[in-house]
Amino acid sequence: MSEHESGIQPSKPAVWNDPKYRALFFQVLLVLGLGYFFYTIIDNTLSNMEARGISTGFAFLGEAAGFGIGMSLIEYTEANTYGRTFWVGLLNTLLVSFLGIIFATVLGFIMGIARLSHNWLIAKIAMLYIEIFRNIPVLLQIFFWYFAVLAALPSVRQSIDLGAGVQFNNRGLYLPSPVPEDGFSIVVWLFVIGIVASFFLARWAHKRQDDTGQQFPIFWSTLGLVFGLPLLVFLAMGAPLSWDVPELKGFNFRGGVTIIPELLSLLLALTIYTGTYIAETVRAGINSVSHGQTEASLALGMSRGQTMRLIIVPQAMRVIIPPLTSQYLNLAKNSSLAVAVGYPDLVNVFMGTTLNQTGQAVEIVFMTMAVYLTMSLSISAFMNWYNKFMALVER
Amino acid sequence: MNKITSTIALTSILAFSANTANADTLDSIKSKGHIQCGVSTGLPGFSNADAAGNWQGLDVDMCRAVAAAVLGDASKVKYTPLTAKERFTALQSGEIDMLPRNTTWTLTRDASLGLNFAGVNYYDGQGFMVTKALGVKSALELDGAAVCIQAGTTTELNLADYFRLNGMQYKSVTYDTSDATVKGFEAGRCDMLTSDQSQLYALRIKLKDPDSAMVLPEVISKEPLGPVVRQGDDKWFNIVKWTLFAMVNAEEMGITSANADKMKSSDNPSVGRFMGGQGEKLGLGDDWAYNIVKQVGNYGESFERNVGMGSPLKISRGLNALWTNGGLQYAPPIR
Ligand SMILES: N[C@@H](CCC(=O)N[C@@H](CS)C(=O)NCC(=O)O)C(=O)O
């Protein structure tokens, strides 16, 4: 044996013994197997549905829906298709999720910071808020706000006039809607330009402070650019905007925009409930920043507010963002509880009425699940990007 | 049971079962010893559980009658409360054996859901309930009104049709349970509540102050309500269908729970056929029809006890009188 060994190079193993090709082979096999598995499932489902006389396919999306929906962000009438009810429901879901996430974040940050306040009363109020609302199931809170809000509000004929054309009663909050006239687009453009300009201004100011240590009144200048200038121009042009004011006609107010009680209560409940979790996340994040940072900052002469804003929060964010993402996902998914109080979200409209009128449960549940999956993945992707953005950049 | 779960159950049955039509419902009922019956979550007169948890009502009597015919014991029924939205998936997935749940017979439901309607146990029509304080006397005065409705019903469609036809507008608030619908109406969220008229009377007695609301005279649709079964099991379909026919025929022939034993010896040949000799053709025992009347009563008895003068609803027979009395209840002969 030994005389052999010396002369022979380790030969390349045969293809079927090469771990690289083996792995590839089994992966291909798995993909093929899975593909076949799903193909049979789908095929079997379809032929079983056919055998049982259940309609299949997506043709129903083109048929006229024939039912009304209480609130829609896009034009919708009974004559529109089932496909359109999908979009109406989807937009309503996105609306509460989006607003809910914003409000819950604001409330959560305020309460999380308040709970760490040195002021005894403020800290206790924040604690009470968190402990109470975190421990009541969110569905119960939705019901509570809905029926509490409804019961507390007067009927249409005794509507509360909040001035400036705003009406509040048990059919909702009625606001005048703006009707732009000639030239109003200039104001809108100025507003957009203002936002872009203040973004660059902020970068410039930041750099200048890094270089020279001089500060720039960035808050006031942004305010001026974004709101002040467009407002001045708007007034100078003679206010080219009129208002469609809601008026009592027959049983209800007509005109303007209506925020229905279902949306109000759902938003209230989701905000307050999710806010508690965000508050705790924020508190944990702030506590994770070592106290030495605060002391150092105060020693450098920064105020408590500045310390919080410039030193503590940016570092805390790294701890806060990952759990914050799951709270956002929870809120988006909890928004499907809308159905309990009749808010026309995707689950209520599409997986509810549309499913029931067409009977195409398999297709509709599939589409609805796909929407929630996409929504969750998008939120995750955005938050992962934001997390990277906020991560500590070592200099 | 919630709808996602039912749908997942349905999907997995459809996906994984071999390509055969339905299993034999009758056999499976005989082996499990009871009927699983889908009813409403609580609608006085039709299907409603009392404080002790006993289900009662016209639809519940349908379940009990089938149990009497199939198992010889009307009490061998288990109930699954279902909202309007959940009901069809529950039946399709096999979670329940039959669905007598004030369900309207329509072409779409009959022809595209894989279901069959076994008859009509209540002829109804859609109406409107308003608060008296609104001061409205006719549905045609309701332009611009806010309406509380339950999701997944024919009600939603009729409402849209009616308002469109009359050039009126409305704002709907669609709840998933009848409890929430009633509460919304009571809290003043809507000017009116719309549903099948019988159900309006039933929901009205659920209000804290029933006298504050009234039902408008207009009836805007045809709502033939009846028990539903899965398509593809004709034997079971026949049993449910003929159970209903037996109840109606019994009333026509004057057979009641009280006189059923005496009628057994009647020399009227029709009554004789009712009491025996026909069950085998349905795959049932000889005394199937006798058991129905003896244990549950005939159609008229069931009607009066649950929704008629013997009940808080006090609905008159109207369309649901026998054909011999100018109504629509008419059953093919048992022979
Ligand atoms: N007959 C109509 C309506 C049936 C229906 O669900 N009506 C409501 C009345 S508000 C009901 O009975 N709800 C009781 C429940 O959901 O348990 C249909 O079949 O679509």
Has residue B19 got a pLDDT over 50? no
| A78 close contact with B: CB closer than 8 A | yes
Q: Of the ranges A42-51, A66-75, B320-329, which one carries the lowest mean pLDDT score?
A: A42-51
Please give the pLDDT value at position A271: 96
Under 8 Å CB-to-CB from B62, ≥6 apart: which residues? B37, B98, B100, B121, B227, B240, B243, B244
Q: Of the ranges A3-7, A246-250, B110-114, B118-122, which one carries the lowest mean pLDDT score?
A: A3-7
Tokens of B153: 């019903």
Give the minimum alpha-carbon distance from A298 to chain B in angstroms, rounded to a whole number: 55
Question: Do B3-123+225-325 and B128-221 share a fold?
Answer: yes
- Which tens digits make up the pLDDT trace of A275-311? 999 999 999 999 999 889 989 999 999 888 889 888 8
CATH H superfamily, domain B3-123+225-325: Periplasmic binding protein-like II (3.40.190.10)
| CA-CA-CA-CA torsion sign (B146, B149, B153, B154) | negative
DSSP annotation of B287 reads: T
Has residue B1 got a pLDDT over 80? no
Residue whose token pair is 């093919």: B332
Q: d(Cα B257, Cα B293) in Å, to the nearest integer? A: 5
Q: How confident is the model at residue A4 (pLDDT cuts 50, 70, 90)?
A: low
| B174 close contact with A: CB closer than 8 A | yes
Q: Which of A45, A67, A147 sits opposite B156 (nearest CB)?
A: A67
Give the minimum alpha-carbon distance from B310 to chain A in angstroms, rounded to a whole number: 34
* Three-state secondary structure readout of chain A: CHHHHHHCCCCCCCHHHCHHHHHHHHHHHHHHHHHHHHHHHHHHHHHHHHHCCECCCCHHHHCECCCCCCCCCCCCCCCCEHHHHHHHHHHHHHHHHHHHHHHHHHHHHHHHHHHCCCCHHHHHHHHHHHHHHHCCCHHHHHHHHHHHHHHHCCCHHHCEECCCCCEEECCEEEECEEEECCCHHHHHHHHHHHHHHHHHHHHHHHHHHHHHCCCCCHHHHHHHHHHHHHHHHHHHCCCCEEEECCEEECCEEECCEEECHHHHHHHHHHHHHHHHHHHHHHHHHHHCCCHHHHHHHHHCCCCHHHHHHHHHHHHHHHHHHHHHHHHHHHHHHHHHHHHHHCCCCHHHHHHHHHHHHHCCHHHHHHHHHHHHHHHHHHHHHHHHHHHHHHCCCCC
Atom index in ligand 1 nearest the CA of residue B124 equals: 1
Which residues in chain A touch residue B114, judged by CB atoms under 8 angstroms apart?
A: 49, 52-54
Q: Are strands B122-124 and B115-117 parallel, antiparallel or unpaired?
A: unpaired
Q: d(Cα B273, Cα B242) in Å, to the nearest integer? A: 14
Atom index in ligand 1 nearest the CA of residue B149 equals: 10
Tokens of A172: 């909702």
Q: Does domain B128-221 have CATH number 3.30.2350.10?
A: no
Distance B291 CA to ligand 1 centre (A): 30
**Cα angle for residues B3, B7, B8 (degrees, 5° grid):** 120
Residues with CB under 6 A from ligand 1: B 40-43, 83-84, 102-104, 150, 153-155, 177-178, 181, 195-196, 199, 223, 225
| B232 close contact with A: CB closer than 8 A | yes
Which residues in chain B touch residue A349, judged by CB atoms under 8 angstroms apart?
A: 174
- Which tens digits make up the pLDDT trace of B29-51? 999 999 999 999 999 999 999 88
Give the minimum alpha-carbon distance from A328 to chain B in angstroms, rounded to a whole number: 22
Q: If DSSP codes are grouped into helix, strand and coil, which group holds residue B255?
A: coil
**Cα angle for residues A269, B153, B59 (degrees, 5° grid):** 110
Which residues in chain B touch residue A58, judged by CB atoms under 8 angstroms apart?
A: none
Q: d(Cα A327, Cα A276) in Å, to the nearest integer? A: 10
Distance B178 CA to ligand 1 centre (A): 7
Q: Which of A48, A69, A150 sits opposite B19 (nearest CB)?
A: A48
| B212 close contact with A: CB closer than 8 A | no
Q: Which of A54, A66, A171 sits opposite B113 (nearest CB)?
A: A54
Has residue A393 got a pLDDT over 70? no
Look up the ipTM and state it.
0.82
- φ/ψ region of A383 (left if φ > 0, alpha if ψ in -120 to 50, else beta) reads alpha
Q: Which of B23, B60, B89, B88 is nearest to B236 (CA)?
A: B23
Give contacts of A 26-45 with B, CB under 8 A.
Answer: 41-42, 44-45
Calculate mean pLDDT across residues B93-116.
94
Which residues in chain A touch residue B231, judged by CB atoms under 8 angstroms apart?
A: 52-53
Under 8 Å CB-to-CB from B270, ≥6 apart: which residues? B253, B333, B334, B335
Q: Which of B10, B14, B184 sits opposite A342 (nearest CB)?
A: B184
Distance B152 CA to ligand 1 centre (A): 8
**Domain assignments of chain B as residue spans, ordered by start:** 3-123+225-325, 128-221
Q: Which of B324, B255, B320 is nearest to B287 (CA)?
A: B255
Q: Which of B290, B293, B313, B304 is nearest to B210 (CA)?
A: B313
Calculate mean pLDDT across residues B263-283.
91
Counted across chains A and B, CB pairs separated by less than 8 A come out at 165
Please give the pLDDT value at position B5: 72
Which residues in chain B touch residue A341, judged by CB atoms under 8 angstroms apart?
A: 175, 180
Q: Are strands B77-81 and B35-39 parallel, antiparallel or unpaired?
A: parallel
- φ/ψ region of A36 (left if φ > 0, alpha if ψ in -120 to 50, else beta) reads alpha
Has residue A320 got a pLDDT over 60? yes
Q: d(Cα B152, Cα A276) in Å, to the nearest integer? A: 35
Q: What are the b/e assignments for B30-63, b being 16+ CB within 10 Å?
A: eeeeebbbbbbbbbbbbbbbeeeeebbbbbbbbb
pTM of the model: 0.83
Under 8 Å CB-to-CB from A318, ≥6 apart: which residues? A285, A387, A390, A391, A392
Q: Which of A52, A342, A355 sits opposite B232 (nearest CB)?
A: A52
Which strands make up the sheet holding A160-161, listed edge to edge?
Answer: A160-161, A167-169, A172-175, A257-259
Q: How confident is the model at residue B291 (pLDDT cuts 50, 70, 90)?
A: very high
Tokens of A11: 């030969």
